[in-house]
Amino acid sequence: MSKTLRLLLGDQLNSNHSWFSTVDDSITYVMMEIRTETDYALHHVQKVVGIFAAMRAFATDLKIKGHQVIYLKINDEYNLQAFDKNIVKLLSEHNFSRFEYQWPDEYRVDRLLKNICKTIAVASTAIDSEHFFTTRNELADFFEGKKTYVMENFYRALRKKHRILMDGDQPITGKWNYDSDNRKKLPKEHKPAPPLQFNNELSLLYEEILKANCKTIGTIDASQFLWPINRQQSLALLDFFATHCLPLFGTYQDAMTPNEWSLYHSRLSFSLNIKLVSPHEVITRVVAEWNLRPAEIEFNQVEGFVRQVIGWREYMRGIYWNKMPNYATLNFFNHQEKLPSWFWTGKTKMSCLKDAINQSLQYAYAHHIQRLMITGNFALLAGVHPDDVDQWYLGIYIDAFEWVEITNTRGMSQFADGGIVGTKPYVSSAAYIDKMSHYCGSCYYKKNIKVGEKACPFTSLYWNFYDRNESKLAANPRIGMMYNVWRKMKPDDKTALLEQAQYYLNNINDL
């Protein structure tokens, strides 16, 4: 009997994949916990534990269904700790005559697997992971010949193509995008529903990871691991989101407040990115909820969510496959600074950054506006090298995989791509942070003070950013207005702001 070895990666846990529709004794699946993957970034400990737990649960499930599975644990002595070494060894030891894999989501692994196939003596094939709405090249084809890649156009085309919230060729309500309704601050006394957390007992797995000496960041309560680690829990989280969070998702999508770490966000990104649920299932469930409760759930809530999943998520993936590997080298502003040391500890006097970083260390999660307008905003204003920024984001979040991390970080957040993903840099002074959050009231720094000991660093760094990048940004029509304000400022005020910014940049680790 000719035998086939099929590789499954840690983010390919799609139980609905056509591979699993029949049980075939000539096929063996291999899954491996390996050091090349635990070590390519300084991952959050919850990310490593979560992925290993989900991989193990998936392998067990496959075995229960009758599939043949080889599972290499991190401390197994015959584990050679790299995809290529383990595959070559397994092929020869078990006399496989074929090797198959699903197209990976990451460029590095894509190259690696293609190279393996060139060196092994057996036939090989790769197929789609059957997860996304779009193919790897769909965005490139859609924008062929265009100078800019406008996300909104791609999003509308996908809504039409997949008939989501549509009435024939038109959006069901007559309007495509409700973003302008989705920028409310959380009322002071408002208490969101507590997030659904799971109590997975993963202490033994955590001990194995400690024994393997994998270097990680962040904290964990492994006896009550809170993230979903299987399909059933992922579907429960989706259900929880649709029932309890969707009604206010859009309204408070951009809001930030201390001690509420996820507000009305879905926290589905981990389950989605490792493919325990599909974007199709997520959209279907959410649209069904809106159809059931149209009086309770305003349209801006559901449209806002759908836009994140079929708009931004698919768009970022398309940009990644269109622009890699060059994308990873882009540094439009030629930023060279190091990430402040407190990004790794949360020990800063700035209330917003302290909260966003500490919650990231505690939960391996921050919501989009915390990532974009707090940590990302600060890194950009401080002129941090995009490589450093990428390394931080690629490690710290449980949902961080390069295809969606780098496009958001280097692209949307750091504008290091010079405007492929975004039309302008996402920077702000204290005013925006105060408008959208409750951080400033309790901060050591004062939002209204521009210079002096208690001046909020965001404000002087903001003007310093515009001043030092004038030659690159002044012609951008979306920010011309800021340059008018800057030019009209009194020379003494400008000098004071720039001196204040320089002082902060010189003492960045002490802020």
Kindly list the residues in this chain that would bind ligand FAD in the complex (CB under 6 A): 265-269, 272-273, 308-309, 312-313, 316, 367-368, 371-372, 376, 393, 397, 399-400, 404-405, 408-409, 412-413
Q: Binds 425, which of ligand DLZ, ligand FAD, none (CB < 5 to 8 A, cut-off by type)?
A: none
d(CA 272, CA 68): 25
Q: How far is the CB of 392 from ligand DLZ (least distance, A)?
A: 15
Decide: 26 and 1 in contact? Cβ < 8 Å: yes
- Give the whole-angstrom CA distance, residue 382 versus residue 87: 44
The neighbour count for residue 130, using CB atoms within 10 Å, is: 15
The one-character DSSP state at 20 is G
- Closer CB to ligand DLZ, residue 9 or residue 421? 9
Least Å from the CB of residue 37 to ligand DLZ: 3
Q: Is 10 in the site for ligand DLZ (CB under 6 A)?
A: yes
Query: Long-range CB contacts (< 8 A, 24+ apart) of 33-36?
Result: 33/72, 33/73, 33/74, 33/79, 34/72, 34/74, 34/79, 34/81, 34/82, 34/83, 34/86, 35/74, 35/81, 35/82, 35/212, 35/214, 36/81, 36/82, 36/83
Q: Which does 186 bind (CB under 5 to 8 A by kind): ligand DLZ, ligand FAD, none?
A: none
Kindly state the smallest distance separating residue 266's Cβ from ligand DLZ, in Å. Answer: 21
Looking at beta carbons only, is 11 or 100 nearer to ligand FAD?
Answer: 11
116 contact, one of ligand FAD, ligand DLZ, none, CB 5-8 Å limit per kind: none
Angle, nearest 10°, between helix axes 491-506 and 457-468?
110
Q: Per CB under 6 A, which region of 15-23, 105-113, 224-232, 361-369 contacts ligand DLZ?
A: 105-113
Q: How far is the CB of 222 from ligand DLZ (least distance, A)?
A: 16
Smaller CB separation from ligand DLZ, 121 or 204: 204
Q: Is residue 104 within the footprint of ligand DLZ (CB under 6 A)?
A: yes
Rounded to whole angstroms, what are the CA distances from 205 to 181, 285, 318, 505?
Answer: 44, 32, 35, 42
13 vs 50: CA distance, rounded Å: 12
Q: Determine the Cα–Cα distance for residues 344 and 346; give it in Å rounded to an integer.
A: 6
**CB 400 → ligand DLZ: shortest distance, Å?**
8
Separation CA 343–CA 23 (nearest Å): 48
From ligand DLZ, ligand FAD, none, interface partner of 368 (C-beta below 5 to 8 A by class): ligand FAD
Residue closest to 55 by CA, chosen among 21, 14, 107, 17? 14
Q: Which of 211, 191, 200, 201 is nearest to 255 (CA)?
A: 191
Long-range contacts of 282-288 (CB under 8 A, 24+ apart): 282/238, 282/309, 283/164, 283/309, 283/310, 285/238, 285/239, 285/242, 286/241, 286/242, 286/246, 287/164, 287/165, 288/242
Mapped onto helix, strand or coil, the DSSP state of residue 29 is: strand
Please report, for residues 27, 91, 101, 306, 440, the alpha-carbon distance to residue 19 in angstroms, rounded to integers and kept in the order given.
10, 19, 10, 28, 52
254 lies in the site for ligand DLZ, by CB under 6 A: no
Sign of CA dihedral 65, 66, 72, 77: positive
Q: Kindly state the smallest distance separating residue 366's Cβ from ligand FAD, in Å.
A: 7
In DSSP terms, 437 is beta-bridged to 256
Residue 68 near ligand DLZ by CB under 6 A: no
Q: Which does 104 bind (CB under 5 to 8 A by kind): ligand FAD, ligand DLZ, none?
A: ligand DLZ
# binding residues, ligand DLZ (CB under 6 A) = 16
Q: Output the residue with the shortest Cβ distance to ligand DLZ.
A: 10
Question: Quick one: what does residue 32 bind among ligand FAD, ligand DLZ, none, with the CB cut-off 5 to 8 Å set by partner type?
Answer: ligand DLZ
Residue 244 Cβ vs ligand FAD, minimum distance, rounded to whole Å = 13
Asked if 51 interacts with ligand DLZ (CB under 6 A), we say yes
Please say which residue, 7 or 433, places its beta carbon nearer to ligand DLZ.
7
Dig out the tokens for 392 from the structure.
């931080």
Q: Name which position in 4, 38, 253, 408 contacts ligand DLZ (CB under 6 A).
A: 38
Restricting to residues 393-422, name those near ligand DLZ by CB under 6 A: 401
Which lies closer to ligand FAD via its Cβ, residue 44 or residue 67? 44
- 38 binding partner (options ligand DLZ, ligand FAD, none; Cβ < 5 to 8 Å by kind): ligand DLZ
> Nearer Cβ to ligand FAD, position 67 or 410?
410
Does position 139 interact with ligand DLZ (CB under 6 A)? The reply is no
Under rule CB under 6 A, residue 45 binds ligand DLZ: no
Binding site for ligand DLZ (CB under 6 A): 9-11, 32-34, 37-38, 43, 48, 51, 104-106, 109, 401
